[in-house]
Amino acid sequence: MKMPKISFKIPKIKIYGIDVIKNFLFFTLFIVLTLLSIAVAIAPSIRHFKATKDKYFQKKYDFEITTKEYKNNLLELKHLKNKNRKVLNILKRDFDKNNFKMFASKYMDIKSIKEINSSIYKNDFIKTTYIVTSTIKSPKNFYDLIDALKNYKLLLRIYFPINFVKNQEDINLTLKIEHYKLKD
Amino acid sequence: MYSFTKPDKKPIFKEDTKLWVVFITISMFLYLSFALFLVIKTYLYNKDIKNYTNEIKTIKQKITTINNKKEFIYKEKTLYEDIMVKNSLMKDSIKNLLDLIPDPITLSSISFDKNKLIIYGITPTKDIYNMLMLPPLESIFTETKTYFYQMPNGWYRFNSVNYLKEKQ
């Protein structure tokens, strides 16, 4: 018996001179390569790109919010500094005995100012204590001095002991003054 | 047999094959270019994310510094206001105590301490002192001691020592 002859040769089918089978195979190759490109290169890139893009916009939004917060805080600090400029300047100044004598001369005649001690107060400030001996005409001078301290260029606290001793015409006043300033 | 036309060279690839090869090559080039574009864009986004992260970190540190500065200003302000209030209270308490001294009594010295008040003065009689000056002192201080010394003119020199015990 004679075996049939099997041929693997692609048959040529031509329509108007165009090789249909060959073009169909090229088309199939094109589709396969396209799908492969999408699956291997484009789809993962798009997925990664989209995730990164979302992350980028989230980060950008965070950055804008943080910048806004920073600007608001900076503005607030500026306002706070302007509002409390007097206090901030007062706490920077050192105690000047002559200046205080001159300031207090309106209310009392200061005989002496003696520094007693100096210590750290609430971690950030220095408290220096002075004993002031002076002469006043009446206790009102003492009250007026305390009122005037509100407008003085230093932060001073009048503290105990306070002694009033009647003299012939005046009152000898001895008091403790605490000066507060920023620690350097 | 003789032919009048010369035979054309047979091309290795036919026209349509060339067309397909060019078309597929261009397509593949475009696909890969697009993928490369996405990779580059992703890289740039990642770079920007890194920059933003660093900037956010720096800004947050600045915000912390600003907040610390603000807190410190509040601390300074509180100290200033506290001292001013304490000065006013000191003035008022001394004024109130001195206002307590009745007219017939004359003071020669008065000493204010944190929890102690010592008064030296002259009173015409012990009764005037006990009636006009002692009650207000007793109402303010927890302990009051008075010592009288008679003067040659019959008046009394007194020494009043008053203590204010702090609450336990």
Q: Which of B147, B144, B135 is nearest to B163 (CA)?
A: B144
Average pLDDT, chain A: 92
Whether residue B46 lies within 8 A of chain A, CB to CB, comes out as yes
Whether residue A14 lies within 8 A of chain B, CB to CB, comes out as no
Confidence (pTM): 0.80
Q: What are phi and psi of A103, to 5 degrees?
A: -65, -45
| Domain ranges within chain B, ordered by starting residue | 14-99, 102-163
Q: Is A167 helix (H, G, I), strand (E, B) or coil?
A: coil
Task: Give 3-state DSSP helix, strand, coil % of chain B, rounded to 5.
Answer: 60, 20, 20
Chain B positions touching A143 (Cβ under 8 A) are: 91, 94-95
Q: A46: pLDDT confidence band, cut at 50, 70 and 90?
A: very high
- Please tell me the distance from the alpha carbon of residue A22 to that of residue B167, in angstroms, as a whole number: 109
Which architecture characterizes domain A94-182 according to CATH?
A: 2-Layer Sandwich (3.30)
Q: What is the pLDDT of residue B9?
A: 75
pLDDT in tens, B84-133: 999 999 999 999 988 888 888 999 999 999 889 999 999 999 999 999 88
Whether residue B69 lies within 8 A of chain A, CB to CB, comes out as yes
Residue B123 makes CB contacts below 8 A (sequence gap 6+) with B104, B105, B106, B129, B133, B148, B155, B156, B158
Chain A positions touching B45 (Cβ under 8 A) are: 49, 52-53, 55-56
Q: Are B79 and A124 in contact (CB under 8 A)?
A: no
| Domain ranges within chain A, ordered by starting residue | 18-83, 94-182
CATH 3.30.1360 fits B102-163, yes or no: yes
Mark yes or no for CB contact B76/A91 under 8 Å. Answer: yes
Mark yes or no for CB contact A139/B94 under 8 Å. Answer: yes
Mark yes or no for CB contact A139/B87 under 8 Å. Answer: no
Q: What is the pLDDT of residue A75?
A: 97
CB proximity under 8 Å: A 130-149 to B: 139, 142-143, 146-147, 149
Q: A1: pLDDT confidence band, cut at 50, 70 and 90?
A: low
- Please tell me the distance from the alpha carbon of residue A98 to that of residue A101, in angstroms, as a whole number: 5
pLDDT in tens, B7-64: 777 777 778 888 999 999 999 999 999 999 999 999 999 999 999 999 999 999 999 9
Q: What is the pLDDT of residue B6?
A: 78
A88: tokens are 């901030």
